[in-house]
Structure 1
Amino acid sequence: MPTTDTAATGWRAARRIAAGAATALPAEDVPLDRAVGRVLAAAVPARTDLPGSDTAAMDGYAVAGAGPWQVIGRILAGGPVWTRELRPGQAVEIMTGAVVPAGTVAVLPYETADLSGTTAAGKPHIRRAGEDARAGSELVGAGRLVTPAVAGLLAQAGADGVAVHRRPRVRLLVTGDEVVSAGIPAAGQVRDVFAPMVSALVVAAGAVLAERLVLRDDPGVLAERLAAPDADVVVVTGSSSAGAADHLHRVLEKLGAQRLVDRVACRPGGPQLLAALPGGRWVTGLPGNPFAGLVAAVTVLQPLLYALTGRPVPLAPRLPVRGDVVVTAAVTRLVPVRLAGDHAVVVPGSRPASLAGAAAADALAVLEDGWTDGSPADLIPLG
């Protein structure tokens, strides 16, 4: 049954609900070069020992036994493997990454090599076969975000493709008879700011903006686009409040949606919502005022997308925040701030309908009951 309780949800509770509302989407196999930024849906085993052979860790000389050593050849990385075992007192010039000959006790780097010496003191500078991973062992576990370094490691161990969670497909519905998509708005019109802003937020959370539409204020048209398939999440802007043109609540009730969050005790961005549609799809409602919509997007939209991609919500850094802001017990304030070394400074003059403050900021500071000028607060990066 649809939820009808409209008591405002606390800001942190709303984020927890959004992050816990969904599970990661099913897996798909992708080439390794397309996996960065995705979350592994299955553990990846090493296909070979890593490294596969004993190799030189430095440019220099591979030596056997005690010195002095006589240089009898050269080995290049990628060149023919030296097939003879080095005898005590012998050395070969060797490049980083080349397979060391049998009998090698150390690699003397060019910078410190003394072939007339009697011992190979210090680090041996040899990478032993399998010291990073053995063939068949788990190299990277399921649930790990594929970073550039992870992708490189997987390639080292022979992976060509991996199973990752599918990216959520997002449909953005910008509502309002006054909204125009391009050019300079005329009197009584406003530009669609949500297409570029929500697109960036969606991509940052690992999802795909599959469709963007500007809709007139018509509940029938809104219901049709909410019910349309091929989107995991539908983002609706400008229709989540209680005005005469705000149809989202009534449309969701007719569609049998379950409201999980319906109004949040925060400023700006209070009239926002999160709902579950039948069939395992989701709707987020963002206020039409641009800064309020941005706050709502980081409150319920991004945590939901992280859950669908399999990523945890990133931990918010915490720094002292300085500025003149009034915080009341019942409402969380989210304000734009600039980073200033070991603290953050409030950007003055931010308003729900203006993005000027957020555009000049590095993060949103989460100011809660008890915060005073200079107290620490969580920061949500805007980069």
Structure 2
Amino acid sequence: MAWAEARARVHEAGRAAAPDPVELPLAETDGQTLAGPLSTLTDLPAFPTSSVDGWAVRGAAPWRVLGRVLAGGTPAPLTADGTAVEIATGAMLPDGADGVLRVEESGRTAEGLVTGALRPAPEWRAPGEEAHAGEELLPAGTPVDPGVIGLAASCGYDTLRVRRSPRANLIVFGDELLTAGRPAAGRVRDSLGPAVPSWLRRYGCAIDASDVVGPVADTLAAHVAALREGLSRAELVCTTGGTMHGPVDHLHPALRELGAEYVVNTVAVRPGFPMLLARVAGPDGRPRFVAGLPGNPQSAIIAVVSLVAPLLAGLRGRPVPELPRATLAEPVPGRGDQTHLALVRIDPVRHTAHPVRHVGSAMLRGLASADGFAVIRPGTRGEPGDEVPVVPLPLLPGERSG
């Protein structure tokens, strides 16, 4: 399947299987996703407030001081010209006030009257200046971060209706893998078991050390048992290795035994093409997903950014983010009729993409120094000066790129 089509298909599968929203206290919503639009429950501000410390005045100077109003208080109205109240920043403006005089721009007469001149621009905030009651501030699908939480609180919300982060498991396949120490004697160190959970967390999954299983023995029975256990505990199970049809590649037979339905089975992308996403009915009847990541480390991460990321966006009720673009600083070869995802570093000042070295499908050195993947369309090659889409490597939940 074409790379762009695969991304669109898995996103739609995720949207169709998105779990029901839940209502959570504000303090528990960081990293979740708005299930509906965030609208104001009141005008913002809800009442006229002073934006400076000073004097709320009525009429022309000088002004006789009648009292003081602090934030949180409700002042009596000013009914006569030539009167004022001392006012603190954030305090409610009295009815009848014509403006606010900054304390540092005020003076006093011998009789204790306040003098000074109001600035042309108001020194107070009118009701609805930021938003009017019922106005939509953020759409459904917006990631909840500290800024959103603060905005919701200012609007009067105590809880938010959100879509929770999906739970994920990781199953590592391969008798040849070591989980500690140096590679030797034909056995290689498992690099995906420690790394993939961190990628998944950056895409919004809930996963911890207890959700990582393996290496699982290279037998069909062991594969089926591990998948059944993972699917009983998580909405998404990622597996590493076994996506081809070799003598110890048992993932496809295991999926058949579980009655899985392929959403995507191999993608026309290099590196990483033997990737897959399958849908399986969970114990509760709701859809679960298995993402088959290739065993080669860089290919596995390409599968994460190509299939897992858009699936999780769908499950969380979010759109697939639009890919930023950058200008190639050097040539990048094409891969015939397949999309080429080429590791690049981005110059943030010039917005140029620079290919990195050590980018074989089994290598991780290039990935460790890259900012993302330049997308070279099928049937093309990248030339210096070409503007191409870039799949950025993910940030931590809640972070915003510059």
Same-fold call, TM cutoff 0.5: yes
Q: What is the CA deviation profile of residues 191-215 of structure 1, one whole-angstrom value per residue up to 9, with x for unaligned ones?
A: 2222332212211222212611011
Task: Give the TM-score normalised by the residue count of structure 2.
Answer: 0.85
Match of 1:59 among 38, 53, 58: 53
1:349 and 2:349 correspond? no
Secondary structure at the aligned position of 2:96 is classed as coil
- Structure 1, residues 127-185: CA drift from partner, whole Å, max 9, x if none? 23344455666665533322322211110122111121132111111100122323334
Deviation, 1:332, is 1.4
Match of 1:329 in 2: 336
Partner SS for 1:377: strand
Q: Is it true that 1:269 corresponds to 2:272 in the alignment?
A: yes
CA deviation digits over 1:221-270, x for unaligned, max 9?
11122223121111111111222111111211222211121111111101
Show the counterpart of 1:190.
188
Q: Which moved more, 1:128-137 or 1:344-353?
A: 128-137
Give the alignment partner of residue 371 of structure 1, picking from 379, 382, 398.
Answer: 382
Cα distance in 1 for residues equivalent to 2:295 and 2:103: 66
Aligned to 1:292: 299
Q: Which is worse superposed, 106-115 or 23-32?
A: 106-115
Which residue does 2:122 correspond to in 1?
A: 124
| Unaligned ranges ≥5, structure 1 | 1-8
The corresponding residue for 2:149 is 151
Spell out the pairing of 1:22-171 with structure 2 (5 A cutoff).
Answer: 22-23=14-15, 24-44=18-38, 46-78=40-72, 80-85=73-78, 87-110=80-103, 116-117=115-116, 120-133=118-131, 140-171=138-169
TM-score, scaled relative to structure 1: 0.89
Q: Which runs of 5+ in 2 are unaligned?
A: 108-113, 396-402
Corresponding letter in the other structure for 2:189: R
Using a 3 Å threshold, how does the CA distance of structure 1 residues 270 and 103 change in structure 2: closer, same or farther? same
Alignment check: 8 A CA contact 1:86 1:101 kept: no
RMSD of aligned residue pairs (Cα, Å): 2.3
Cα distance in 2 for residues equivalent to 1:199 and 1:59: 51
**Letter of the 1:380 counterpart:** V
Give 2:253's aligned residue. Answer: 250
Whether 1:232 and 2:239 are equivalent positions in the alignment is no
Letter in 1 for 2:213: L
8 Å Cα contact 2:344-2:371 kept in structure 1 = yes
Structure 1 vs Structure 2: percent identity of aligned residues? 40
SS of 2:207's partner is strand
Per-residue deviation at 1:53?
Answer: 2.2
Secondary structure of 1:123's aligned partner: coil
Residues 298, 209 of structure 1: CA spacing in aligned structure 2 closer, same or farther, 3 A cutoff?
Answer: same
- Match status 1:19 vs 2:17: no
Q: Which amino acid aligns with 1:94?
A: I
Q: How big is the shift at 1:371?
A: 2.6
Say if 1:25 and 1:310, in contact at 8 Å, map to a contact too. Answer: no
Q: Matched residue of 2:307: which SS?
A: helix
Paired AA for residue 327 in structure 2: P
Cα contact 1:201–1:302 (8 A) shared by 2: no
Distance 1:63 1:362, change over 3 A: same
- Report how many residues are paired: 373
Distance 1:113 1:379, change over 3 A: farther
Deviation at 1:111, TM superposition (A): 5.3
Shift of 1:43: 4.2
How far apart are 1:68 and its partner, in Å?
3.2
